[in-house]
A and B are shown apart, each in its own frame.
Chain A
Amino acid sequence: MKLAYWMYSGPAHIGTLRIASSFKNVHGIMHAPLGDDYFNVMRSMLERERDFTPVTASIVDRHVLARGSQEKVVDNITRKDAEEHPDLIVLTPTCTSSILQEDLQNFVERASLSTQSDVLLADVNHYRVNELQAADRTLEQIVQFYLQKAVQTGTVADQKTSKPSANIIGMTTLGFHNHHDCTELRRLLADLDIEVNEVIPEGASVQNLRKLPQAWFNLCPYREVGQRTVQYLQEHFGMPWIDITPMGVVETARFIRGIQGILNQQGVQVDYERYIETQTLYVSQAAWFSRSIDCQNLTGKKAVVYGDSTHAAAMTKILSREMGIHVAWAGTYCKHDADWFNAQVSEYCDQVLISDNHAEIGDAIARTEPAAIFGTQMERHVGKRLQIPCGVISSPVHIQDFPVGYKPFLGYEGTNQIADLVYNSFTLGMEDHLLEIFGGHDTKEVITKGISANSDLSWSSDGLAELNKIPGFVRGKVKRNTEKFARDRGIQEINIEVLYAAKEAVGA
C-alpha cells in the first residue's frame, strides 16, 4: 500500500478510453462498477465536447460479484452495436474488474459473432501500466488489428502516394494542446509540400487504417503515445519514422532535417535549409526574442522543469539552449521511460529528477527556490504556496489548459507561444518582487464603500462569528446589506437571526 494524495498519470483504462474515443465511431465499454465512468465527465468538461462521449459502462454490481457477469457484458456489447452502429467496440477492464478475473476475451469472442462492429478487448494490465503506457499499447493494438485484417483480405493500401506524404501518430483526446499541435504540424507539412496521409487516432476512422502504409513515413511527435505503433509499422511495412518533437526552434529544425533525410533516402531530393533559415530568423519570433534585451534579463535565472517526458525534455532544452536560463533540475513522472529522459536532458540541467511523488517534487522546488517553475497544475499550486510563478507545460491539467484560442506548443507558432509563456512567468515574478521591495499595493482593508463605514450598529459575537463564515469576496456586501436592513428596522444589535432575516429579505 502506498499513501497517495495526487497522481500524475491516471489508471490504465483512461489511456485506453482516450484512444478509443479519439477515433470516430469507436465505442468504449468499461467493465466497471458504478461511478467509474468518470472519463465521460472529464472529456465533456475539459474538452467542452459537444457530442456524447462514446463510452458506456457494463456495470459490475453485487450480483455480478456473486454470479459473474454472465450475459451482461455480451448483452451490453450487442446492444451498443444495435443502438450506435460503431465500427469498433473496445471492451476495457478496470482495476476492479481485473481482479474478478472473468474471461473477458471469451465475452468479446461471443459478442462479435452477433455484432456488425468489430470487438476488441484492450490488452492492458491495470496493475503494471499507467494511462500513458496503456494508450500507447491500445493504439498499437487497434492499428495492428485493422492492418492484419486488411492484409488477410488483400485490401491494404501499400502503394505509396505520388507526392511525399506522412502519417501523424499520437494525437489524442485530453492530450495537452493536441488539437492545436496537430493544426500546426499540418501547416508545417504543407509548407514543406508534404501531404498528410492519416492523423491517428484523433478524428480518424478505423476503416482508413488500412491506408496507413501508403504514406512515405510516420511522425510520432509525442514520446508517450505512438512509439509502439510506429515501431510496428516499421517492422511490418518498412515505414521510416521520426520521433523528434518539433518543440523549440532548434528541435523544430532538427525535425525538419530528419524529414529531409528520409525523403532524400527515398529518392526525392529536397532541401529545406532555406525554409528553416527564413522561419527561424524572420517568421518565428523566438530566435529574435532570445537575442533581444528582454531575454538578456533572463540570463542565468534559475528555473525548474517537470512534466511528462516529451514536454519536460523539450522545455529544458529550450530554456537552457535557446534562452540562457539556468535549469537547476528537470524531472518527469514517466518513470517507465527514465533512461530516455536522462539521455535527453542531462547536458542541459544540473540534476535529473525521476519521481511521481508530488511531495518529493514540491520539496525539491522549495529547496531550489527557482525564479520560475515550468510544470503541471500541481506545480502551479506549489508555486502559489511558495509565491513562485509557474507556467503549465504538461498534463495533468485543468480546464484553463484547454484554451479555445490557438495555442500550439509545436512548430514555429509553438515557439512564439512558448516565448510568451516563459517571459510572462518571469516578469510576473519580477513585478511581485519589486512590489514587495517598495511596500506593495494599497492594502485591501481601508477600502470601504458607502454606508457601512463608521457604522453605528453593533454586532453580537454570534452574529460576527457567522458573518466571518461567509466567503471573503461577498462578506462586505452581506455586511452592508444586513446593516441597512437593521437600520431600516431600528434594530440596534445585529445577531445571527437578524443576519439571516436580512438575507431572506434582500437575498444578500
Chain B
Amino acid sequence: MTLAQQQPSALNFDCETGNYHTFCPISCVAWLYQKIEDSFFLVIGTKTCGYFLQNAMGVMIFAEPRYAMAELEEGDISAKLNDYEELKRLCTQIKRDRNPSVIVWIGTCTTEIIKMDLEGLAPRLEAEIGIPIVVARANGLDYAFTQGEDTVLAAMAHRCPDPEAAALPSTSSRPSALGSLLNFGRKSEDSATAEADYLDHPPLVLFGSLPDPVVTQLSLELKKQRIKVSGWLPAKRFTELPALAEGYYVNGVNPFLSRTASTLMRRKKCKLIGAPFPIGPDGTRAWVEKICAVMGIEPQGLAEREAQIWESLQDYLQLIQGKSVFFMGDNLLEISLARFLIRCGMTVPEIGIPYMDKRYQAAELVLLEQTCRDMGVSLPKIVEKPDNYHQVQRIKALQPDLVITGMAHANPLEARGINTKWSVEFTFAQIHGFGNARDILELVTRPLRRNQSLKELGWTNLVREDARV
C-alpha cells in the first residue's frame, strides 16, 4: 500500500445498476412482531408480498404469527372498494381476535403505485377503533431488506412519549441519605445501589431492534462504564416505548437505521452519537469508547476486555487469517462485518451494499479505513447498488476464499467450488457486543470448516464444464 492511499477519503466508492438480489423490506415484520410483543403487523399488499413472507419466514408462519396480509383484490386496485371501509373491517377483526396495543400498517409497492393515503387514513381509523396505528412504507420501490426496520422505527419514533408525560425519568434522581435511612427492605436497598452504579449523565436512548438477550448484554456493557441506558427503541412492548425529549442522546446499534436517526434528530431534537456499530470486539470497544467520550467519561478496562475476547477467538482466527472474503451485499451490515473481518486478518476485495449513508455510517467508515491501515491491507472497493451478474464475473476472476451472499447465489457458487455463507443469517444471529463476536466467526468459518473436512474427496466442482454461469 502506498502512502498516497492513506489519505482520509481513500475509500473507493462505486455504484452499479442495482440489479441485485435482496429480501423485500416487508420481511422486517418477521423479527419486529416477535420483538414488540403486543403489536400486530398488517401488510397491505398483493399475493406476491404474501407469498414472499410465507416462504421467507419458513416455519414461523405456522406459529400463529401476529402478522397478516391485507390482500388487495381487483376491486381495491380499481378503487371500486373504499379503502377506509375495507381497512376498518380488517382492523376491527384484528382488534376482536388479537386485541393488540398497536397495529402497524406496512405500505407496499402496490399501495405506493395506487397512492393509497395510509398516513391520512390511519389517524381517522385510530380515533374510531381506539388502537394506535403506525404507518411504515417499507416497499421494494425505495428500500432493501433491513431498511424495512428503519422505516418502522422511524414511524415509531413519533410515538415516543415526552418525559413529562411518561413516568418520571429515574436517571438524575439519586437516593438521598434520608431515603436510605427510611428504607430498610432489602429490595429498595438493591435499587438504591443500582442507582448509585451510574454516573450522572444526560439520558441516553439506544435504537435498533435486537433480541432481548443482546439488549441485556449491551446495556450491561455500558453499565460497566456506569452509563445508564434510559430506554430502547423499540422496547419489548409498544406501551413501553422510551421517553424522548430535546437534549436526549441517541445512538443506533445497527448500520441500516439512518432514517430513524434523522427522525430522532430532526423531529425529537435528540443528539445523535455517531459511533461505529458494536459488531465484533473492535466495533464494540469503539462503540463504548465513543459513547463514553460524548458523556465525558473515561472508559475503564476496555482494552483488557477486548484483548481477552480476541484471545478467546484464536482457534477461529487461525482458520481465516490471510483468506479473502467477497460481500455481494444485501443487508447493509456489510461495512461493519468487513471491518471486523479485516481486523481478524482477512482481506476484502469488494464490499457490495444496497445503500450507503456516508453520514450515518461515517464513524464506521473511518474505523474501516483505520483498520485497513493497521492491518496493512489494501482498502476494499465499496459497491453501492451492485449488479449481481457483474459480481459473479468478478468472483470468477478473483476466486475469493469466501463469498457472503444471498440464497439465490449460494448453491450455484458452491457447485462451482466457491465457499459461501448465506448473508441473511447475519441478520438473525446474535452478532452484537463482546460476547457474540464468537457467533459471527462461527458463521464465517462454518463453510471453511465444513469444506476442510470434505477437501480430500475431490468433490469441489460439481457442475459440468459447459455449464453456463
Contacts and interface: CB of A to CB of B under 8 A. Distances in A.
Interface of A: 1-7, 10-11, 13-14, 32-38, 40-42, 44-45, 48-53, 56-57, 59-62, 65, 76, 83-84, 94-96, 99-100, 126-128, 130, 378, 381, 384, 396, 398, 466, 469-470, 496-497, 500, 503-505, 507
Contacts of B46: 11, 95-96, 126
A83 to B, nearest CB: 7
Contacts of B415: 50-51
A507 B144 CA distance: 33
B24 A84 contact: no
Contacts, number: 187
Contacts of B172: none
B410 A44 contact: yes
Given A37-B21, A53-B408, A507 B312 contact: yes
Given A33-B141, A59-B19, A61-B141, A11 B48 contact: yes
B18 interface: yes
Nearest to B315: A507
Contacts of A1: 44, 70-73, 76, 81, 86-87, 89-90
Contacts of A57: 19
A41 B139 CA distance: 19
18 contacts: A2-B71, A3-B68, A3-B69, A3-B90, A41-B21, A52-B392, A52-B408, A52-B469, A53-B408, A57-B19, A65-B113, A95-B110, A126-B47, A127-B74, A378-B62, A496-B220, A504-B312, A507-B312
Contacts of A469: 212-213
A52 B19 contact: no
B265 interface: no
A5 B73 contact: no
B251 to A, nearest CB: 21
A127 B90 CA distance: 20
B51 A34 contact: no
A59 B87 CA distance: 29
B47 A96 contact: no
B113 A100 contact: yes
A466 B213 contact: yes
Contact of A40 (B21, B44, B47, B141): B21
B443 to A, nearest CB: 14
Given A2-B70, A100-B113, 18 more contacts: A1-B86, A3-B90, A6-B61, A33-B24, A34-B18, A35-B22, A44-B408, A44-B410, A49-B412, A51-B468, A53-B408, A83-B389, A94-B48, A95-B46, A95-B110, A127-B73, A466-B216, A504-B308
Contact of A48 (B87, B142, B308, B411): B411
A381 B58 CA distance: 12
B217 interface: yes
Contacts of B26: 35
Nearest to A80: B389
Contact of B312 (A52, A95, A396, A505): A505
A96 B140 CA distance: 10
A344 B58 CA distance: 33
Given A37-B21, A504-B312, A504-B434, A99 B74 contact: no
Given A1-B72, A2-B70, A49-B412, A504 B220 contact: no
A6 B67 CA distance: 11
A378 B63 CA distance: 11
Given A3-B68, A41-B407, A99 B142 contact: no
Contacts of A34: 18, 22, 24, 140-141, 143-144
Contacts of B76: 1
A229 B174 CA distance: 80
Contacts of B212: 469
Contacts of A36: 24, 48, 52, 140
Which of B309, B392, B412 has the largest count of A CB atoms less than 10 A from its CB? B412
Contact of A37 (B72, B217, B408): B408
A73 B201 CA distance: 56
A49 B410 CA distance: 10
Interface string B32-62: 0000000000001011101110111010011
B220 A5 contact: no
B231 interface: no
A66 B69 CA distance: 27
B77 A127 contact: yes
B19 A65 contact: no
Contact of A51 (B21, B141, B412): B412
Interface in B372-405: 389, 392
Given A7-B54, A50-B462, A44 B407 contact: yes
Contacts of B392: 52
A96 B52 CA distance: 14
Contacts of A4: 50, 68-69, 71
A381 B76 CA distance: 32
Contacts of A96: 46, 48, 108-110, 113, 140
B144 A381 contact: no
A11 B47 CA distance: 6
A56 B114 contact: no
B345 interface: no
B290 interface: no
Interface in B1-43: 18-19, 21-26
A35 B62 contact: no
B159 interface: no
A323 B76 CA distance: 48
A504 B213 CA distance: 14
A33 B392 CA distance: 21
A496 B48 CA distance: 44
A500 B305 CA distance: 13
3 closest A-B pairs by beta carbon, nearest first, are A35-B24, A33-B140, A40-B408
B209 to A, nearest CB: 16
B93 to A, nearest CB: 6
A95 B77 CA distance: 10
B467 interface: yes
B65 interface: yes
A7 B24 contact: no
A5 B438 contact: no
Given A50-B411, A96-B109, A11 B22 contact: no
B425 interface: no
A32 B54 CA distance: 19
A441 to B, nearest CB: 24
B396 to A, nearest CB: 12
A33 B52 CA distance: 13
Nearest to A497: B220
Contacts of A466: 213, 216
B145 interface: yes
A49 B468 CA distance: 13
B110 to A, nearest CB: 6
